[in-house]
Amino acid sequence: MNKPSLLVTRSIYPETLSKLEQHFEVDYNKTDEVYSKEGLIQKLQGMDAAMTTGTERIDDDVLKACPKLKICANIAVGYNNFDVASMTARKVLATNTPDVLTETTADFGFALMMATARRIAESEHYLRKGLWSKWSLDMFTGSDIFASTLGILGMGRIGQAIAKRGAYGFGMKVIYHNRSPLPAELEGACKAHYVSKQELLQTCDHLVLVLPYTPQAHHTIGAAELNMMKSTATLTNIARGGIVDDAALALALKNRQIAAAGLDVFENEPALNPELLKLPNVVLTPHIASASRKTRLAMAELAADNLIAYFEKGHALTPVNTF
């Protein structure tokens, strides 16, 4: 019996590739290049399946040009690179990798928030440039984390993990806004209190964004929302680019409407708004919130297990759509 054909669109760990090769005829992107849309369509010709990342857009044009495709397994919890409606209409299964990256991403989000509040990157650059000549009482004074108010926008698994770190580890008052309040037992476990979006923005000392990207969530944080925040507040985005209007954020940071921002995701990444690079009060990282080897391997393994389960058992482990 012939093995199904699989395109692995980016470089993955050797152990995951070896597992896949036991079950599939694999075309593997050894060079880790990012395919153009045309290149992706060419590579997907005749393929039964694809293992993808957020850099590959699976839209109706791609699906129409690749009619043999049955499943796309994303190595990510997010799937805004998938046109899920078109995939469902064409009976192409979409899968993602939830749960395995929750704690690692929450760790990073909290670290990025702390680096932002305490001006760690800014002060390191100052030191590396040889500008440090004396100690001063007000040198690089930032804002406290302990006993401050943590605001979380998006209270899924990662948001809840960040809330617990803040409440239990740092004595923070935790408030959040979500599409709907959490069940009482989850709120209690997180020591979190549901508020309106406006109250969240106006009240929090440190705002962390952890909501999924959808067209409706585009520019959830723009000029109007930034104007509601305290001038001493920080903003941390570990969610997705596009949730924040980066141009509006750059202007707010320049004008000190808010104190600082920590960004792991950007509109149009890996490109980013050049105004952000000019600002001292922003910490910038290249979409690495889930980047521990253990977690990234677990993500790749779950994507592989989704593919194997689909072809051998008729169902995936973590599907995004149904039909």
| Segment 213-270, tens digit of pLDDT | 999 999 999 999 999 999 999 999 999 999 999 999 999 999 999 999 999 999 999 9
Backbone angles phi, psi at 319, to 5 degrees: -75, 150
Same-domain pairing of 69 and 135 = no
Q: Does residue 70 lie within any of the structural domains?
A: yes
**199 has a pLDDT exceeding 90:** yes
- Average pLDDT for the chain: 97
Enumerate residues 6+ apart whose C-beta is below 8 A from 235. Answer: 116, 207, 209, 221, 226, 229, 244, 249, 258, 260, 261, 262
Give the per-residue pLDDT at 239: 96
Among this protein's residues, is 256 annotated catalytic? no
141 in a structural domain: yes
C-alpha to C-alpha distance for 97 and 70, rounded to whole angstroms: 18
Question: Which DSSP state fits 59?
Answer: -
- Counting other chains too, the contacts that 75-79 makes at CB distance below 8 Å and 24 or more residues apart are 75/10, 75/12, 75/51, 75/299, 75/300, 75/303, 76/299, 77/101, 78/54, 78/212, 78/213, 78/240, 79/320
Statement to judge: residues 78 and 191 lie in one domain: no
Active-site residue, 240 included: yes
pLDDT band for position 290 (cuts 50, 70, 90):
very high
- Asked if the model's pLDDT at residue 1 lies above 80, the reply is no
Residues 306 and 169 reside in one and the same domain: no
185 plus 230 within the same structural domain: yes
In angstroms, rounded to a whole number, what is the distance separating the alpha carbons of residues 175 and 65? 47
Domain that holds residue 234: 102-284
142 and 33 housed in the same domain: no
Is the residue at 320 inside a domain? no
pLDDT score of 209: 98
| Residue 61 maps to a domain | yes
Same domain, 54 and 129: no
Do residues 78 and 143 share a domain?
no
Judgement on whether residues 28 and 113 belong to the same structural domain of the protein: no
In a domain, 298, yes or no: yes
pLDDT at 168: 98
Q: Per the residue annotation, which of 21, 199, 269, 275 is the catalytic one?
A: 269
In a domain, 113, yes or no: yes
Query: Do 278 and 187 belong together in one domain?
Result: yes
Q: Judge if 247 and 128 occupy the same domain.
A: yes
Structure confidence by residue, pLDDT tens digits, 62-109: 999 999 999 999 999 999 999 999 999 999 999 999 999 999 999 999
Q: Which of 23, 90, 157, 287 is catalytic?
A: 287
Report pLDDT for 110: 98
Same domain as 180, residue 78: no
Same domain, 116 and 138: yes
Do the bridges between strand 206-209 and strand 149-153 make them parallel or antiparallel, or are there none, so unpaired?
parallel
Tell me if residue 287 is catalytic. Answer: yes
pLDDT digits (tens, 9 = 90+) for 164-198: 999 999 999 999 999 999 999 999 999 999 999 99
Q: From the CB of residue 51, how many other CB atoms can be counted at a distance below 10 Å?
A: 29
Question: What's the CATH number where 83 sits?
Answer: 3.40.50.720
322 in any annotated domain: no
Domain count, the chain: 2
Residue 167 maps to a domain: yes
Catalytic residue from among 240, 267, 296, 301: 240
